[in-house]
Amino acid sequence: MKRTVAVGGLKIGGGAPVRVESMLKVPLSDEAGCAAQCERLLAEGCEMARVALPDVALADALARLVKRSALPLMADVHFDPAIATAAMMAGCRAVRINPGNMPPGRLDEMIRAAKDSGVVIRVGANGGSLSPRHRSAGGDGGVGAALFEAVKEQADLLLDRGFEDVILSAKSSSVADTVRANAFLSQAYPSLPFHIGITEAGPGDAGLVKSAVGISAMLSQGIGDTIRVSLTDEPEREVRVGYEILKSLGLRARGVNLISCPTCGRRRADVRSLVAMIEPLLAGLPDGTTVAVMGCEVNGPREAKNADFGIAGSPVGAVLFKNGQVEGEYDYDALPNVLPGFLNTQNINTRT
Ligand code: SF4
């Protein structure tokens, strides 16, 4: 059984659900901007956010943000253990340190402070900031092996000092290197929680695909207790995509499960316009509700019947199903008026 660590009230690892994280993209010097981003992330279902603490001078701003934000925060610290200690004194319940640039010989004071204040430490190595020493220790195993060596060095240092509230993380912009590093680490530390993601995955489709492939590959091997989708985009999108990945693997059920067919030459309804019509109506439905929008009678009726709400293209417009039962057939032109009343939460038994 995996160890559970707690960042404030947020449990990570063990039997806890896989958590969805992001990182603030405004500097701590912009306190109002940070607070607003925390609120938007919380509204999207974000469960913890990292915040860069580049300097001890910003520890007071961090303390104010910790007090102000309902979202659990993890201070992201590089180069100097004293900054990590300052984050703990500021009230942060979790700190990420980077073994690629954090001097292992100067960690004792930080570890004592973490023990005294019940702080979780994430040892998070990144392929872009591996030290020459760790690269060399990885030998012919490349970046994957070097990431493993970097995390192992500092994880062992913490564990040898009796500090066990640890999360491990090894990320690269390469899916293959990240998966390899995490496979090595999970063999070496089967009981510790892992944070996973593909770092610097990029913008747009490429970033989504890289993240989904890498995170899914690791989760399917049983590796990963918290995830972050690292996109060149708004952090709220990282959270939405994170939940989509977990939803597609059946691990979390935030939001509606929307099934829609790609359409083909058989289509009786324009599925894209139907989806555009219903998407604004989905926000009020309970988590886990399944809505199917299908273009014709080939796969349409079965998918639509199996869903909580189903819409299948028909010769006149669409047949609507609720709880597997036909509600009626409507002309396409009538649908904008019919759908808001149809997609309501009354009388549905969410069957997913
Ligand atoms: S449901 Fe009908 S329209 Fe949609 S892809 Fe299948 S056959 Fe084509």
> Do 269 and 244 belong together in one domain?
no
> Do 207 and 280 belong together in one domain?
no
Q: What is the rounded distance in angstroms from the CA atom of residue 188 to the CA atom of residue 36?
A: 40
User: Given 248, 271, 287, which residue is the final one in a domain?
Assistant: 248
Q: What is the pLDDT along the chain (352 residues), one digit of tens a residue?
A: 789 999 999 999 999 999 999 999 999 999 999 999 999 999 999 999 999 999 999 999 999 999 999 999 999 999 999 999 999 999 999 999 998 888 878 899 999 999 999 999 999 999 988 989 998 888 888 999 999 999 999 999 999 999 999 999 999 999 999 999 999 999 999 999 999 999 999 999 999 999 999 999 999 999 999 999 999 999 999 999 999 999 999 999 998 999 999 999 988 888 999 999 999 999 889 998 999 999 987 776 677 778 899 999 888 889 999 988 899 999 999 999 999 999 986 555 554 4
**DSSP state, residue 265:** T
Cα 19 to averaged position of ligand 1 atoms, centre (Å): 35
349 within a domain of the structure (yes/no): no
Nearest-atom number in ligand 1 for the CA of 265 is: 8
pLDDT of residue 324: 84
> Do 188 and 261 belong together in one domain?
no
Global pTM exceeds 0.95: no
Closest-CA residue to 28 (of 71, 73, 49, 59): 59
> Do 162 and 290 belong together in one domain?
no
Closest-CA residue to 281 (of 229, 320, 337): 337
> Do 57 and 192 belong together in one domain?
yes
> Do 83 and 173 belong together in one domain?
yes
- Residue ranges making up the domain that contains 329: 257-342
pLDDT of residue 137: 87
The total number of structural domains in the chain stands at 2
Q: What is the rounded distance in angstroms from the CA atom of residue 84 to the CA atom of residue 324?
A: 55
198 within a domain of the structure (yes/no): yes
Give the tokens for residue 240.
């939405």
Ligand 1: does its nearest atom lie under 6 Å from the Cβ of 137? Answer: no
Identity at 270, one-letter amino acid code:
D
Nearest-atom number in ligand 1 for the CA of 294 is: 1
Cα 269 to averaged position of ligand 1 atoms, centre (Å): 10
Cα 304 to averaged position of ligand 1 atoms, centre (Å): 12
CATH number at residue 279: 3.30.413.10
Ligand 1: does its nearest atom lie under 6 Å from the Cβ of 294? Answer: yes
Ligand 1: does its nearest atom lie under 6 Å from the Cβ of 272? Answer: no
Chain-centroid distance, C-alpha 33: 22
> Do 116 and 212 belong together in one domain?
yes
> Do 83 and 175 belong together in one domain?
yes
3-state secondary structure of 162: coil
**DSSP state, residue 231:** B
Q: How many C-beta atoms surround the C-beta of residue 241 within 10 A?
A: 21
295 within a domain of the structure (yes/no): yes
347 within a domain of the structure (yes/no): no
> Do 173 and 279 belong together in one domain?
no
Closest-CA residue to 83 (of 99, 70, 102): 102
Give the tokens for residue 343.
């997609």
> Do 225 and 268 belong together in one domain?
no
Cα 312 to averaged position of ligand 1 atoms, centre (Å): 10
Q: What is the rounded distance in angstroms from the CA atom of residue 352 to the CA atom of residue 308?
A: 8
H/E stretch holding 179 reads helix 175-188
pLDDT of residue 352: 41
> Do 150 and 280 belong together in one domain?
no
Chain-centroid distance, C-alpha 203: 16
Ligand 1: does its nearest atom lie under 6 Å from the Cβ of 350? Answer: no
350 within a domain of the structure (yes/no): no
352 within a domain of the structure (yes/no): no
Cα 313 to averaged position of ligand 1 atoms, centre (Å): 9
